[in-house]
Amino acid sequence: MNVKIEESWKKVLTKEFEKDYFARLTDFVKAEYKQGNIFPPGYEIFAAFDATPFEAVKVVIIGQDPYHDVGQANGLCFSVCEGVPFPPSLLNIFKELHDDLGAEIPKDGDLTRWARQGVLLLNSTLTVRAHQAGSHQGKGWEIFTDEVIMRLARDRENVVFILWGAYAIKKGAFIDRSRHCVITSPHPSPLSSYRGFFGSKPFSKANQYLIEKGIKPIEW
């Protein structure tokens, strides 16, 4: 199957694109886009991969679903398009970033600036119906993104995996901690941010590890 995705990822995942589940997933997603309002826009489904080639990945942040309100999702987990108000989880991420590194809270929530430095902002499910959280779960995206994480964990060295919340922690449970850095905490959502997300210092921990391995840190 000819999937429009960044070339290095296309090479890594070529066998995945030929599997039966991916064909069924593709048919489902195409039908959904024809029938209703689906996020992100079709050309941004693989935006996280297009912005961060396989060999460029330094850090992986795992989300769950794209945002499901109009104009929010841009294909990068936790990120929103420029000019869109910050969703609560993203605002909490920026608050922790400020407390951790002293960085100013950005004027916009587009995290493409992180992605271009090597931060793979990966949702577990890459599409969603408008105003229906979780509506595309269980259709095959999770199998695909599990393979993405597995390939990074197996074929790369010294990658930082930032796992926020029980869902992401479970998804990354198999990662070899002797080859990679795994940073875990509660999710940044308002429901759990005060149970250990605030004060977890993921950004400074990630950069400290990268520096120790001789890798250029991220300008968060």
20 catalytic per annotation = no
In a 13 Å sphere around the CA of 196, the CA atoms on its Cβ side amount to 9
3-class DSSP state of 4: coil
Beta bridge partners of 128: 39
Q: Among the options 65, 108, 110, 176, which is catalytic?
A: 65
DSSP string, 22-90: HHHHHHHHHHHHHHS-EES-GGGTTHHHHHS-GGG--EEEEESS---STTT--SSTT---TTSPPPHHH
Q: Which residues are catalytic?
A: 65
